[in-house]
Amino acid sequence: MADLSQFDPNSVGLKSNNIFGLPFKEDEAALVLLPVPWEVTISYRDGTSRAPEKIFDASMQIDLYDPDVVDGWKKGFHMLPIDKNIKKKSDFLRQCAELIISHLVDGGVVSENEQLSEKLQEVNNGGTLLYNWVHEMTANLLKEGKKVGLIGGDHSTPLGFIKALSEVHSDFGILQVDAHADLREAYEGFTYSHASIMYNVLQQIPQMKKLVQVGIRDYCDEELLLIRQNPDRVTTFFDKDIKAQQYEGDTWKQICQNIINELPQKVYISFDIDGLDPKLCPNTGTPVPGGFELEQIFYLFKQLKESGRELIGFDLNEVSCGEHSMDGIDSIVGARALYKLCNLMVG
C-alpha cells in the first residue's frame, strides 16, 4: 500500500507522481488506466491520439475532493506509460487512411486502385494489431485483480478491452454516451473504424447482452435499421427525443431512470466526449450540435451507481487536442470526466 503520510491532497499536483498528482505505483493502485494513443480511422479532425498525455497534464488541476465518492482517490489510480510504438504505428497508418478517405471523397473506388487496396489491408492489419494489444494488456490487468479504465484515442480503441471483460463476465451491458451510433459495418472499408465500434461489439461479443445508447444525434439509415431490428439487444435514447421529453415536462431524473432500467446488473461505460455539448469539447473529431452538460452525465452515472449496478470498466475517448486545442477546454473537461469515472469505479 502506498505511503500517504507525506502526501498533501490540498497541495499542487506533482507531475513527478502519476495522474491527478497521485503518488501510486501500478502495484499499489486499485484502478489502472491504459492510455491508447490511436486515431487511424478518424473521419474528420485529428488530435485524439494525443488525448492521454494532454489529459494527464490537465489532471494536475483537478481538486481531489469528490462529494459523490469521498476519498475514493485513496484506493489508488495509476496511468500506465504511453506506448510510443503504438503512437508511432498510429501516425504512420493515419497517413495511409487519409489517402484512402481522400480517394473515397473524390468518388474513387479503392478496390480499383492496387496501391490503395494494399494500404487498406495495412490499415486493417494495424487495427487487428491494436485489438490484440489492448486485449492482452487489459486481460493481464484483470487477472491481477485490477479495476481497469481505458483512455483513447478514437472510439475504436476499447474493443479489445471489452473482449477481455467478456472473458470474465458472462452477462453485461454497455452504457454508451455518444453523439454517434457507431453501428456502421466496416465504415470506409476499415474493419476497426471508430464508427464501427458498437457494430463490432454486437457481432463479436455475445456476452454483451444489452447496448444502451444515450444522446445519439448523428446516424445513417443503415444504423437506424440495425437498431430497429435488434430491440432486445439495442436501446437508443436519441438526443432529439430526450430534448422533446424535457420540453414537455419530463425531468432528467425520470429520463435517467428509463435509461438505467434498460441495463443489466453489470455495466461497462463507453463515454465518447462528443456526447457532450460541443462547447465543452470544441476540438473533438466530429462535433455535433446538441448533447449534454457534463453535470447531466455525472448525474446519470451517479444514478447508475445508486441503482445497485456494478461498474465493470469504462473508456473515455475522442478527447481531441489538435492544432486549435488552445481555443477550447477539451483536456480539462476530459480530465474531470476521467476523475469522476475513476471514483465511480472504486466507490
The model's pLDDT over 95-125, given as tens digits with 9 standing for 90+, comes to: 999 999 999 999 999 999 999 999 999 999 9
**Which of 292, 277, 180 lies closest to 246, judged by CA?**
292
At 81-90, the pLDDT tens digits run 999 999 999 9
Q: Quote the pLDDT of residue 311.
A: 98
C-alpha cell at 250: 419530463
Residue 209, classed as helix, strand or coil, is strand
User: Going by C-beta distance under 8 Å and a sequence separation of 6 or more, which residues neighbour residue 166?
Assistant: 172, 205, 206, 207, 208
Assigned domain for 234 exists: yes
Per-residue confidence (pLDDT) for residue 90, from 0 to 100:
97
What cell does 123 get? 490499415
Side chain identity, residue 209: K
All 3 cell numbers of residue 85?
510504438
pLDDT tens sequence across 255-299: 999 999 999 999 999 999 999 999 999 999 999 999 999 999 999
Segment 7-21, tens digit of pLDDT: 999 999 988 999 999
Residue 13 belongs to some domain of the structure: no
**What average pLDDT score do residues 161-170 get?**
98
Count how many domains the chain has: 1
**Residue 14 domain-assigned?**
no
Kindly tell me if the per-residue pLDDT of 216 is higher than 90.
Answer: yes
Q: What phi-psi label fits residue 189: left (phi over 0), alpha (psi between -120 and 50 degrees) or beta?
A: left
| DSSP per-residue codes, 129-177 | HHHHHHHHHHHHHHHTT-EEEEEESSTTTTHHHHHHHHTT-SSEEEEEE
d(C-alpha 230, C-alpha 183), whole Å: 12
State the pLDDT at residue 275.
98
Question: CA-to-CA distance for 283 and 337, rounded, in angstroms?
Answer: 16
Report the range of poorest mean pLDDT among 13-22, 205-214, 246-255, 309-318. Answer: 13-22
Whether 8 is in a domain gets the answer no
Percentage of residues of the chain with pLDDT beyond 70? 98
Domain that holds residue 77: 19-346
Q: Does residue 2 sit within a domain?
A: no
Q: Provide the 8-state DSSP code for 39.
A: -
* CA R_g for the chain: 19
**80's grid cell:** 500506465
Average pLDDT value for residue range 202-213 = 98
Q: What is the pLDDT of residue 322?
A: 60
Residue 81 included in any domain: yes
Q: What is the CATH number of the domain that holds 207?
A: 3.40.800.10
174 belongs to a structural domain: yes
pLDDT > 80? residue 333? yes
Whether the per-residue pLDDT at 327 is higher than 70: the answer is no
Exposed, middle or buried by CB within 10 Å (0-12, 13-18, 19+), for 44?
Answer: exposed
Q: What are the C-alpha distances in Å from 169 to residues 206, 213, 261, 315?
A: 11, 20, 20, 17
Question: 92 in a domain, yes or no?
Answer: yes
